[in-house]
Amino acid sequence: MSKRANDRVRTWITRESLDDFGRFENIVREIGSVEDGALLFFQGRVRRTNRGRAVSRLRYEAYGEMAERELAAIGHEALERFDVGSVAAAHRVGDLGLGEVSVAIAVTSAHRDAGYAASRWIIETIKVRLPVWKHEHYEDGESHWVGAPPLEAGTSSGGSRFE
Amino acid sequence: MDRISVRTLFFGVYGELAARREGSAELAADSTVADLVEALRGPGGLDWLPERVVVAVNQGYAEAGTVLSDGDEVALIPPVAGG
């Protein structure tokens, strides 16, 4: 492999849309190599129904600098753990509508097995490690911080609901 | 130095419950993350904060026993929900 690890990993947190598939693919072409026979692309998108409730929109909040560092660390760790050529991963913050891309991951590899494994590991690791929070708004007008801890009645504020 | 001062950050639901996104705390020198959490949860404080809350110090995940220094940035991390 001629490229150094830093040239084979690209990660970022952004307020800008990640919906442009072509733009993301251009980055993959920059960091990938002709040794890689497989490209796996994953998008997470804002889903209308979450836990039985109709979502109207949502907002992602991140601990900016730490999220940048964690996502970069996840990308580099993927390179060490799996036999892959390059990793690109980006996460949106700010306000997103239904169907918008919230997370995009691309992995190139010589062979497909390592690519599937790495892509799966990256999204699962993002979900447990990346300091990003999701505030869901519902069609009925309520809103909720996803994953928020249960609270006793009366301690809630701002009209939000907590599970 | 007898006392240290750390910057505290509250994200997600913690920011909403604390009604602030950031603050500061004064602690005895050599205080740990656990000491800070205990102080925050203390009388008149953030009693809803879990005892074993996830904390990051200077933008990296930290243990309860991590010793804090003057000027540290300490973030209280509610359950993450990226993806």
Domain assignments of chain B as residue spans, ordered by start? 3-77
Contacts of A61 in chain B (CB under 8 A): 11-12
Residue spans per domain, chain A: 9-145
Above 0.90 for ipTM, yes or no? yes
What are the tens digits of pLDDT across the range A92-147? 999 999 999 999 999 999 999 999 999 999 999 999 999 999 999 999 999 999 98
Distances (CA, A) of B12 to A88, B16, B57, B62: 26, 7, 17, 19
What are the tens digits of pLDDT across the range B6-39? 999 999 999 999 999 999 999 999 999 999 999 9
Of A49, A54, A47, A59, residue with least CA distance to A138 = A54
Q: Which residue has the tokens 């003057």?
A: B70
Q: Could you give the CA distance from residue B26 to residue A135 in angstroms, rounded to a whole number?
A: 31
Residue A2's pLDDT is 62
Q: Does the structural domain A9-145 have CATH classification 3.90.1170.40?
A: yes
Asked whether the beta carbons of residue B11 and residue A63 sit closer than 8 angstroms, the reply is yes
3-state secondary structure labels for all residues of A88-139: EEEEECEEEECCCEEEEEEEEECCHHHHHHHHHHHHHHHHHHCCEEEEEEEC
What are the tens digits of pLDDT across the range B32-49? 999 999 999 998 899 999
Q: What b/e readout covers B2-27, taking b as 16+ CB neighbours within 10 angstroms?
A: eebebebbbbbbbbbbbeeeeeebeb
pLDDT at A77 over 90: yes
Asked whether the beta carbons of residue A65 and residue B83 sit closer than 8 angstroms, the reply is no
Domain covering B3-77: architecture? Roll (3.10)
Asked whether the beta carbons of residue B77 and residue A130 sit closer than 8 angstroms, the reply is no
Q: Which residue has the tokens 């889903």?
A: A47
Residue A3's pLDDT is 83
Instruction: Judge contact between A26 and A106, C-beta under 8 A.
Output: no
Q: Which residue has the tokens 């509610």?
A: B78
- Give how far A2 is from chain B: nearest CA, Å: 31
Asked whether the beta carbons of residue A145 and residue B78 sit closer than 8 angstroms, the reply is yes
Instruction: Give the tokens for residue B5.
Output: 């001062």
Residue B43's pLDDT is 87
